[in-house]
C-alpha cells in the first residue's frame, strides 16, 4: 500500500468547465508549493494537453475500459514519481461511461479504482440553493465514490458564492472554491472539442485570479486523506536496449498520441525520431513509421504542397502504423471545404469530412495480419473523427460484435480511424517493434 495524495475532479455533465477548473486547481496547488501530476479519465488527447501545460508534467490517461483497476492504479503510481499530489480530471458526467451508470470508462469507476475522493464541479450560473440538491444527489448515488466538496463555476459575484456556500454547508458539503463567470478564463473549442494547448489558453492573469478563489489547503487535506493506494499492478515492461529507429510524426497536424504509447515503445527498444509532415522534406533514417491522429483537415493544403515528404512516405519500406488523422494522410486524397488535396496514397480511398462525428470505444478483431496484430487478435481503442473513408477490399478490423469493418492493411501498412491503446495489449507493441527489426535487417 502506497500513500499518494490524489483527488478526482468530476461534474454532473459535459460543459460544466472541468478542464478550466482543473487547470485553476493545478495552478493553486503549484502556488502552494506542490508538484502536481495531472491525469485525464478516458481516451481524450485534447484536455491532457492543457493539463500538462498547467502542471509542467505530461498528463496520463486513466481508463477503466482499457485497463483493469489494478493496472489503472499501476499507471497512476508510475506517473506519480516525483510528484506530491495527483489531480485527475474526469470525463463527461461523473457516471457516464461506455454505457449506463458507473460503467467502465466512467469517472466514478476511475475514482473507485483509485480510492480517490471527488471534487464536484457544478456550473452555478442561474442557481443558488439548488446547488445543494445537485451535489447531494451525486454524493449519495454510488457508495463506492466519496464526494469531498464542490467547486462552483461561472459564479456571478462574491455574494453569489456566499449563497452557494451556505446551501452546500446545510447539505453537509464544503464549497472548496469558485470561479467567476469570466470569458477570459474559458477555453475555446472546435469540432473535436477544445483547441489544443499552445493554440489558445486562458489568459495567465485570469487563471491566476481564478486559482486564488480555490482553497488549495482544503483540497490538499482532502487529497492527503485518500488513504493508501490499493495494490497497483505493474504496467510497463523493463527497458530493452535499442532495437529499432521509429520515425514519429509530430507537428501541428499530428499531435494526438498517448504518452503511455510512446513510453511503452521506448521501453521495448524504439528510438523515437520526431519529424514534421508539414515542414520536413525527408523522413529520418528509420526502420518503422508512426503517424498518429490530429487535424490534417486544418492543414490539408500545406500537407499536399509538401510533395517531397509525400514521396518519402510512399517510398518508405518498413512497417507503418497510422491512426485517425494519420489514416487520412495515407489516403489517396483528403476532401474538405469543397476542395480535394492529394495525400500519400498508401491506403485506398478518399477521406471526406462530414457534419457528424463518429465516436466511441472500440473492441476490434484483426481480419488480417498487420504490423500490430495477427488475424484474430483482439485489441481495444477509440474513435473520434468527422472524416469518412470506406474500408475497401482489405479492411483491418471488424468490431467484436460483428457490426462493422474498418481501416486498411496490406500486412506492412496498417491505417485505421481507431486510436489503439497499446498499453492494454503490449504484445501488439512488441509485434510492431519486431516488424521494424525485420525491416532493419532486410535493409542491411
Which residues are annotated as catalytic? 324
In which element (H, E) is residue 409 found? strand 408-409
- Strand bridging mode 408-409 / 413-416: antiparallel
- Cβ proximity of 150 and 176 under 8 Å: yes
Query: What is d(CA 312, CA 33) in angstroms, rounded to the nearest whole number?
Result: 48
Strand duo 293-294 + 270-275: pairing: unpaired
111-127 burial code (b ≥16 CB/10 A, e <16)? bbbbbbbbbbbbbbeeb
In the numeric block, the cell 477503466 is attached to 64
Rg of the chain over all Cα atoms, to the nearest angstrom: 23
Length of the chain: 444
193-194 and 254-256 strand pairing: unpaired
| Location of C-alpha cell 469570466 | 182
Are residues 328 and 343 in contact, defined by beta-carbon separation less than 8 angstroms? yes
Cα distance between residue 368 and residue 390, in whole Å = 17
Output the CA–CA distances (angstroms, integers) from residue 26 to 17, 215, 216, 294, in the order listed.
Answer: 14, 12, 9, 26
Beta carbons within 10 angstroms of residue 413's beta carbon: 22
For residue 6, what are the β-bridge partners? 86
Nearest CA to 80 out of 48, 49, 36 is that of 36
Amino acid at each position: 500500500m502506497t500513500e499518494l495524495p490524489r483527488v478526482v475532479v468530476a461534474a454532473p455533465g459535459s460543459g460544466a468547465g472541468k478542464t478550466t477548473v482543473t487547470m485553476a486547481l493545478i495552478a493553486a496547488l503549484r502556488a502552494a508549493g506542490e508538484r502536481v501530476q495531472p491525469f485525464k479519465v478516458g481516451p481524450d488527447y485534447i484536455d491532457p494537453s492543457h493539463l500538462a501545460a498547467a502542471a509542467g508534467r505530461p498528463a496520463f490517461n486513466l481508463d477503466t475500459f482499457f485497463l483493469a483497476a489494478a493496472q489503472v492504479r499501476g499507471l497512476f503510481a508510475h506517473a506519480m514519481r516525483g510528484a506530491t499530489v495527483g489531480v485527475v480530471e474526469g470525463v463527461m458526467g461523473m457516471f457516464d461511461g461506455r454505457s449506463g451508470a458507473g460503467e467502465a470508462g466512467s469517472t466514478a469507476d476511475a475514482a473507485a479504482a483509485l480510492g480517490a475522493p471527488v471534487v464536484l464541479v457544478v456550473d452555478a450560473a442561474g442557481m443558488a440553493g439548488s446547488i445543494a440538491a445537485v451535489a447531494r444527489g451525486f454524493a449519495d448515488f454510488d457508495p463506492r465514490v466519496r464526494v469531498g466538496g464542490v467547486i462552483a463555476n461561472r459564479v456571478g459575484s462574491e455574494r453569489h458564492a456566499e449563497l452557494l456556500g451556505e446551501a452546500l454547508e446545510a447539505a453537509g458539503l464544503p464549497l472548496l472554491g469558485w470561479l467567476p463567470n469570466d470569458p477570459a478564463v474559458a477555453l475555446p473549442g472546435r469540432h473535436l472539442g477544445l483547441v489544443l494547448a499552445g493554440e489558445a489558453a486562458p489568459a495567465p492573469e485570469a487563471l491566476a485570479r481564478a486559482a486564488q478563489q480555490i482553497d488549495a489547503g482544503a483540497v490538499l487535506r482532502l487529497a492527503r486523506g485518500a488513504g493508501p493506494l490499493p495494490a497497483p499492478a505493474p504496467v510497463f515492461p523493463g527497458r530493452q536496449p535499442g532495437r529499432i529507429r521509429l520515425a514519429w510524426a509530430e507537428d501541428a497536424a499530428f499531435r494526438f498520441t498517448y504518452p503511455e504509447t510512446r513510453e511503452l515503445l521506448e521501453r521495448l527498444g524504439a528510438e523515437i525520431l520526431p519529424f514534421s509532415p508539414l515542414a520536413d522534406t525527408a523522413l529520418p533514417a528509420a526502420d518503422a513509421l508512426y503517424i498518429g491522429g490530429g487535424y490534417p483537415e486544418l492543414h490539408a493544403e500545406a500537407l499536399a504542397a509538401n510533395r517531397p515528404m509525400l514521396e518519402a512516405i510512399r517510398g518508405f519500406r518498413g512497417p507503418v502504423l497510422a491512426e485517425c488523422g494519420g489514416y487520412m494522410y495515407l489516403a489517396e486524397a483528403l476532401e474538405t471545404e469543397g476542395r480535394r488535396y492529394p495525400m500519400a496514397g498508401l491506403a485506398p480511398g478518399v477521406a471526406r469530412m462530414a457534419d457528424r462525428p463518429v465516436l466511441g470505444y472500440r473492441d476490434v478483431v484483426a481480419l488480417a495480419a498487420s504490423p500490430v496484430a495477427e488475424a484474430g487478435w483482439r485489441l481495444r481503442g477509440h474513435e473520434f473523427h468527422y472524416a469518412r473513408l470506406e474500408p475497401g477490399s482489405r479492411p483491418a478490423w471488424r468490431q467484436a460484435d460483428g457490426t462493422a469493418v474498418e481501416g486498411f492493411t496490406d500486412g506492412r501498412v496498417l491505417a485505421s480511424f481507431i486510436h489503439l491503446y497499446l498499453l492494454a495489449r503490449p504484445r501488439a507493441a512488441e509485434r510492431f517493434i519486431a516488424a521494424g527489426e525485420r525491416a532493419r535487417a532486410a535493409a542491411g
